[in-house]
Amino acid sequence: MPEPREMTSSNWDEENEPADASLPMPSEKMVGKDTKIVTTYSLNDEDKRVKHVRTYKIERKLVSKAVAQRKSLAKFGESADDRPGPDPATTIVAEEISMQFVANKEESEKDNEDKSALDVLKEKSKGVVKCRICKEDHWTTNCPYKETLGPLRDSLAGKDVDKEDDAGGSGLPGGPGATASASNVTSGGKYIPPSRRGGEGGARDRIGESMPDRRKNEDTYAIRVSNVSANALETDLQELFKPFGNIARIFLAKDRNTGECKGFAFINYYKKEDAARAISTVNRLGYDNLILNVEWAKPSGT
């Protein structure tokens, strides 16, 4: 009875050894009755000798005569030159995988049903529902741009309220401010920090609040200076950029631990012309053995 060669080549390893002219002969070793260890040698691309150790488990199986005869057939076609046993070039033991039993059939089905029901609803609500944020036909709470456009819109709404309040006089209950704030409450649905809230007190508070930076930044023109020397200080930059106009703010990026300059800074001018002049003059200027690079700062968050 010819024995089928069951291959369970689970552990094989490679050992790199210095190149050698003669390769050792492949060897086969039987361990016990049903384990065979085959060692073969080959040269890899770098002329290093590679030793392949393959462990086979031999299973003996009773098969019908026809099958047994087919086990001893000569190989043909492209496999005619292959040695007995599986050729590692064409037969590879794949990674261990497991059959995943679907346990929660009902749940997964329900999911599908829910989805289809949602689709139906979507179909129905087409043209009826309109998102307040992006004007597409879905509910505002489901808007994919809720995170990005929503706050922006809120802040815009806040500005409107601001203006309207200024125009129509403050403190009138039921005025335009109240309606706007109502719309804000409904449109958001998620927590907005007081400082960002557009309606009612938020906008008005902001005027008197001692947080001028944000507003300042909005009306100023920032330029970005890079390739700044590590030894530079804010005062140095002030000296350098003061001649072009009034500076609103100077920000020099510093390393948190060493306090050294990280190599770039932002300068905010009140006037756009000043900023432009600073760029045209200081850009490509040699400063402390480095050449400064000055350009318009890109809006943050993009």
Letters for 112-141 (x = contact with another protein by CB under 8 A, - = none) are x-----------------------------
Query: Which one of 13, 96, 123, 218 is in contact with another protein (CB under 8 A)?
Result: 96
**CA trace torsion 241, 245, 248, 251 (10° rounding):** -10
- Measured CA to CA, the distance from residue 199 to residue 246 in angstroms comes to 33
What one-letter code names the amino acid at 87?
D
77 binds another protein (CB under 8 A): yes
Residue 47 or 81 with smaller CB distance to another protein = 81
Quick one: which segment of 44-52, 66-74, 180-188, 205-213 binds another protein (CB under 8 A)?
66-74
Stretch that binds another protein, among 88-96, 124-132, 211-219, 256-264 (CB under 8 A): 88-96
> Does 80 help bind another protein (rule: CB under 8 A)?
yes
Q: Does 214 bind another protein (CB under 8 A)?
A: no
The structure tokens listed for 117 are 């029901």
In angstroms, the CA 279 to CA 297 distance is: 11
Q: Check residue 31 for interaction with another protein (CB under 8 A).
A: no
Q: Does 8 bind another protein (CB under 8 A)?
A: yes
Q: For residue 72, which of 3, 141, 121 has the smallest C-alpha distance?
A: 3
Residue linked to tokens 């040269």: 43
Q: Cα dist. 113→65, 106, 108, 109, 118 in Å?
A: 53, 10, 9, 6, 8
167 binds another protein (CB under 8 A): no
CB 117, min distance to another protein, A: 16
Contact between 73 and another protein by CB under 8 A: the answer reads yes
Interface with another protein (CB under 8 A), residue from 1, 23, 30, 92: 92
Q: Give the integer Cα–Cα distance in Å for 162 and 158.
A: 6
Binding of residue 87 to another protein (CB under 8 A): yes
Does residue number 110 form part of the binding site for another protein (CB under 8 A)? no
**For another protein, which is the closer residue by CB, 16 or 69?**
69
The site that binds another protein (CB under 8 A) totals a number of residues, namely: 41
**Minimum Å distance from CB 120 to another protein?**
16
Among 23, 47, 51, 48, smallest CA distance to 38 is for 51
DSSP, res 210: S
Tell me which stretch binds another protein (CB under 8 A): 7-15, 207-215, 224-232, 274-282.
7-15
Q: How far is the CB of 67 from another protein (least distance, A)?
A: 4
* Binding residue for another protein, selected from 91, 148, 179, 227, defined by CB under 8 A: 91
Residue 102 or 128 having the CB closest to another protein: 102
- Choosing from 29, 60, 75, 159, the residue that interacts with another protein (CB under 8 A) is 75
For residue 222, list its beta bridge partners. Answer: 268
Residues near 261 by beta carbon (within 8 Å), at least 6 away in sequence: 228, 229, 230, 231, 232, 233, 252, 253, 254, 255
3-class DSSP assignment, residue 164:
helix
Report the distance separating Cα 234 and Cα 226, nearest Å: 14
Residues 6+ apart with CB under 8 A from 158: 184, 197, 198, 199, 202, 203
Instruction: Kindly tell me which of 21 and 102 has the beta carbon lying closer to another protein.
Output: 102
Contact positions vs another protein (CB under 8 A): 4-8, 10, 61, 63-64, 66-67, 70-71, 73-80, 82, 85-87, 89-102, 105, 112
